[in-house]
Amino acid sequence: MADKIFIRGKIWTGNAGQPWVEALACQVGRILAAGTNEEIKKLAGGETEVIDLEGRLVLPGFIDSHVHFLNGGFSLMSIQLRDAVSRQEFVSRIAAKAKTLAKGVWILNGDWDHTQFSPPELPRREWIDSVTPDNPVCINRLDGHMILANSLALKIGGVTGNTPVPPGGEIVKDPATGEPTGILKDAAMDLVYSKIPPPTVEQNLRAAEAVMKCAAELGVTSVHDMSDPSSFEVYEELFKNGRLTVRLHVYVPVSAVEAMSELKLKSPFGNEGLKLAGLKGFADGSLGSATAYFFEPYTDDPMTKGLLHGQMFPEGIMEKRILMADRAGLQLAIHAIGDRANAVILDIFEKASAQNGPRDRRFRMEHAQHLRPADIERFGRLGVIASMQPFHAIDDGRWAETKIGPDRARTTYAFKSLLDNGAVLAFGSDWPVAPLDPIQGIYAAVTRRTIDGKNPNGWVPEQKISLEEALKGYTMAGAFAEFAEKIKGKIEPGKLADLVVLDKNLFEIPPEEIRMAKVEMTILGGRIIYKKD
């Protein structure tokens, strides 16, 4: 008999042979059966819990294929600058935060976005020095590739006008004085980051609890965490004590390749709740920070083509690490945003496949944002998963053309072209860079309507995809990207009973209303972990 049955629903299974059913049954954390109300009711016993869906839409639990999970938890508990739209508001929020802190306590996170200021301008340490005399400040731009440090934090980090610039980084300096403005990019950020005291075990656990609660409320049942190695210890503690309410597929930095290889680990290693996935690397930075690496100069700054990331130095080290990891049977997930960064990594992936021979390796390109037309077909041909974040398209679409021009924008966030060329699109959020909510990502992929309301028909509308294609990106493609398609990503017998119930049927409303849908219930392994009041 079933532990739990759901009846009278509109259940999208993701199974091409049986795309829609009315009801389903769960037993010991897995789908027992899916079919008509009459068929499923026969599986109920005296102890079976019966849930009447009242016609609501049920989907496989959402899989977010790219998050910074624990960092997102800390961002929930930190200063919030994402929606600060002026210098005055930016400074006043930092001043208010400083008043709540003891002397010497760092002000961190922030997720600020200078493109929202009028006019857009990068913040400077002088803006905040007077309101933070006793608190070092290290607050990141929302993309995580640029920070603002106040003078105290720069002093702690030993950053002056004479500090050597680390390869793959930039210390922005005042052209008149030659002194740092407080903006550090990519590899240069570690000059200050390395001086920040690590969080305590208790702080880590509080952050994890906060982010798991948020994920459950948004229907997220699995995440691919692009993690700091220290996060794994936190997750192990939660798993051991039965406190995990999300399935974690954890990537660690590519610099750990030798240790992983020596341990003879294969991707993935672990169980249904917590897995060590493979290795994550960086090829470049971000578009908003002008550190994404392009073949041609930036339209708004012809003096730069962006930066290769510090992990690409010394020259050849990334290729060496990818080849070693691939030989060892480890999955690679490499961050590449600019068209040249993507081309460089595709070349290395192709070389690894040729040298190490055929196998089911499932290389991943994280972001794959800006592609040359000639490189799009390579994703499908090489079997490289495009791990993309649709919300970035409707956010960046407000200003991306000012940085790279309209021609390169034609193949920016090229969802449709990648699918047409046989690529697997695994969708995620990049949270806390963008909202964790998968519904916002689905809306973005289907409509491409920028968040400023200026592209009602979609920015680069030829790259819009269908609702079903977007849902696959957040379900079965995410499962495929973690070698888990046999146990999740669809609603069918034998798979994990990870489900999400929505208050609106996405298939029956206009695309522009998708973003208004809310999660009513989230089920993980047959257990209700969230129910809307």
Q: What is the pLDDT of residues 382-412, one digit of tens each?
A: 999 999 999 999 999 999 999 999 999 999 9
Query: 463 and 417 in contact (C-beta within 8 Å)?
Result: yes
Q: Kindly state the percentage of the chain with pLDDT values over 90.
A: 92
C-alpha 243/C-alpha 171 separation (Å) is 42
Looking at the domain assignment, is residue 121 inside a domain? yes
The answer to whether residue 222 is domain-embedded is: no
Task: Tell me the C-alpha distance between 254 and 231, whole Å.
Answer: 15
Domain membership flag for residue 39 = no
Average pLDDT over residues 457-470: 98
Q: What is the DSSP letter of 200?
A: P
Task: Give the pLDDT confidence score for residue 228 in this predicted structure.
Answer: 82
Q: Answer yes or no: is 99 within a domain.
A: yes
Query: Is the pLDDT confidence value at 377 over 90?
Result: yes
What is the average pLDDT across 193-201? 92
The parent domain of residue 86 ranges over 75-193
Residue 299 resides in a domain:
no
For 119-169, the pLDDT digits (tens) are 899 999 999 999 999 999 999 998 888 999 999 999 999 999 999 999 999
Amino acid code (one letter) for 402: T
pLDDT at 142: 87
Nearest CA to 61 out of 208, 224, 247, 207 is that of: 247
pLDDT digits (tens, 9 = 90+) for 237-264: 999 999 999 999 999 999 999 988 888 8
Which residue, 111, 83, 108, is CA-closest to 192? 108
Q: Residue 146 in contact with residue 183, Cβ under 8 Å?
A: yes
The pLDDT tens digits for 22-31 are 999 999 999 9
158 within domain boundaries: yes
| Alpha carbons 71 and 66: distance in angstroms, whole number | 13
Secondary structure of 221-247 in HEC code, one letter for each residue = EEEEEECCCHHHHHHHHHHHCCCCCCE
The pLDDT of residue 533 is above 90: no
* pLDDT for the residue 200: 87
CA nearest 285: which of 305, 270, 256? 305
Q: How many domains does the chain have?
A: 1
Contact 464, 447 (CB under 8 A): yes
pLDDT for 201: 86
Instruction: Compute and round to an integer the Cα radius of gyration of the chain.
Output: 23
pTM of this structure: 0.91
On whether residue 127 sits in a domain, the answer given is yes
Predicted pLDDT of residue 427? 98
How many CB atoms are located within 10 Å of the residue 291 CB? 26
Q: Phi, psi (5° rounding) for residue 135?
A: -130, 120
The letter for the amino acid at 334 is I
| H-run or E-run covering 107 | strand 107-112
Query: CATH number of the domain that 180 lies in?
Result: 3.10.310.70
Could you report the per-residue pLDDT of 59-102, keeping only the tens digit for each?
Answer: 999 999 999 999 899 888 889 998 999 999 999 999 999 999 99
Domain membership of residue 118 (yes or no) is yes
